[in-house]
Amino acid sequence: MYKKTMSAMLAAGLIISVGTASAQQPQKAPNAQSASAFDNKIIKKISSDNMYNTIAKLSAQPRAAGTPGELIGAKYIKSQFEQYGYETELQSFPFYEVIRNNATGSVTIGGQQINAYVFSGSYSGEVTAEVVDVGLALAGQVPDSVKGKIALIQRGDNPFVEKVQNVIDKGAVGVILYNNSGTSNNVGVADPGQNIPAVTLTRAQGQALVEQLEGGPVQATVKVTGSGYTEKTSYNVIAKMKPHKNKDTGQVVLVGAHHDSVPGGPGANDDASGVSAVLELARVIAKMPTDTELRFVTFGAEEKGLLGSYHYAGSLSEAEADRIVAHFQMDMIGARDAGGDHPAGGLIMYTIDGKKNLVTDLASAAGARTAADYPIPYGQLGRSDHQPFHELGIPAALFIHSPLEPWYHSPEDTLDKIDKNKLQEAAEIVGASVYQIARPDTPALKHARVAPGPVDYEFNDRPPGA
């Protein structure tokens, strides 16, 4: 049983008092306790050998979103969850990738062809029509006269995609954008579904065209080849375990990682390591009594812009999102060469707003009680799947070793550079924290002598690098 706010935690007896940051950097947990009997139920069962084996399986091939490697990985993860007795789902979602294949763009007026820059993602096609100057193409200011015509648009004030949409909404068949400074034409982005060719001219070329239009109608041809979007499919793997009916608090805890890698990278640490801990915790917790629904989720297309986690978060109803009290994201938790000389191998919890929350409170305290033997510090960073959950108002944090290893996002992110000890420490901390929420007897905790105390833990302004 757990509530999202600190005061609620105090009321529930889950935290006795809230730790305040002391001026000095703690060298060791000032009030570290040995693991409680409850922690031991979880942490004694966590096997870094199991995690290592999972990483070996997953990193056998790259798992870039939308590739066969991703699906192989996702199906493997799903089968493991099923083996542990979870209700599982492979949640597919589409995403779009820019095609830019020797892209060419041109504007032809009166037999004279000008080479033009092709918008990133522009539709390929050729249109011939009159040109209409629509200024900045601001919402509500595009004239009806652009219907069936080519819109001439000045750069500035609103995003490219908005400009294109505003003229599409008025029936334009092509876009000629011109720059508002300098001598380059190298700008412009179109979204999937904006199916008209869109190209860019320099400021001087655009101004010349504006002047020409003042003298009378101008007919132009806009042509784009070798450009567009391709639709791909990525997957989230979702495993759920409902608590016992009589003990159900109605609350949900999420434990996540991303299973996709960068193209061509084996992604052993990024983020097969996180997935390995998600699976291991799912295995260990599957047989434990809980009063909280647990959801273990591995996200796809994180490397394409957190697409899987945004898809999952977006698929939750408001009522469902309200039930989620915590999200633990593990992304890059096994790198031998990360973390520098920082305590606990450099493990840190990053939150989006740089503030402590339920997740960091629980995990820093767990750090002091488990193998890491240190109250894990927190810092501020996005860059992973904790972002969408934070945006829903759910306490969320990213567990990672910082500073980064040199192999980040390279083909060298391989199994041989994984440190089992780092995996073990991170999984113990997250596992003990999750179980702290999920175990049925937590509300009685204040009466139990094994109640883990709060710890002081520091804000650490530690940039991960790269």
Residues that bind ligand BES (CB under 6 A): 270-271, 302-303, 305-306, 331-332, 381, 383-384, 400, 404, 464, 466
* Among ligand BES, Zn ion, none, residue 425 binds (CB under 5-8 Å by kind): none
C-beta separation of 338 from 416 below 8 A:
no
Please, which residue, 30 or 263, has the CB nearer to ligand BES?
263
- 70 contributes a contact to Zn ion by CB under 5 A: no
* Among ligand BES, Zn ion, none, residue 150 binds (CB under 5-8 Å by kind): none
DSSP 361-412: HHHHHHHHHSTT-S---EEE--SSTHHHHHHTT--EEEEEESSPPTTTTSTT
Please, which residue, 202 or 357, has the CB nearer to ligand BES?
357
- 270 contributes a contact to Zn ion by CB under 5 A: yes
Find all residues with CB under 8 Å of 180, minimum gap 6, and list them. Answer: 154, 155, 156, 203
How far apart are CB 148 and ligand BES at their closest, in Å?
39
**What are the Cα distances from residue 332, in Å, to 39, 349, 414?**
23, 12, 12
Please, which residue, 48 or 269, has the CB nearer to Zn ion?
269
How far apart are CB 305 and ligand BES at their closest, in Å?
5
* Among Zn ion, ligand BES, none, residue 419 binds (CB under 5-8 Å by kind): none
* Among Zn ion, ligand BES, none, residue 305 binds (CB under 5-8 Å by kind): ligand BES
The Cβ-side half-sphere exposure at 216, using a 13 Å CA radius, reads: 0
Interacting positions 322-361 with Zn ion (CB under 5 A): 331
How far apart are CB 400 and ligand BES at their closest, in Å?
5
Please, which residue, 293 or 405, has the CB nearer to ligand BES?
405
* Rounded-to-integer distance, Cα 431 and Cα 277, Å: 9
C-beta separation of 211 from 178 below 8 A:
no
* Among Zn ion, ligand BES, none, residue 116 binds (CB under 5-8 Å by kind): none
- 260 contributes a contact to Zn ion by CB under 5 A: no
C-beta separation of 426 from 275 below 8 A:
no
Site string for Zn ion, 383-422 (x = CB under 5 A): ----------------------------------------
Q: Give, as one character, the DSSP assignment of residue 273.
A: I
Please, which residue, 242 or 355, has the CB nearer to ligand BES?
355
Please, which residue, 280 or 331, has the CB nearer to Zn ion?
331
Amino acid at site 378: Y
- Residue 434: what are its φ and ψ, rounded to 5°? -60, -45
* Rounded-to-integer distance, Cα 30 and Cα 456, Å: 8
How far apart are CB 365 and ligand BES at their closest, in Å?
23
**What are the Cα distances from residue 282, in Å, to 8, 197, 321?**
27, 49, 21
Q: Quick one: tokens of 211?
A: 């002047």
Amino acid at site 350: Y
Please, which residue, 35 or 313, has the CB nearer to ligand BES?
313
Name which of 382, 380, 386, 376 is nearest 425 in CA terms: 376
Q: Give, as one character, the DSSP assignment of residue 26.
A: P
Q: Summarize as ranges the residues that interact with Zn ion (CB under 5 A).
A: 270-271, 331
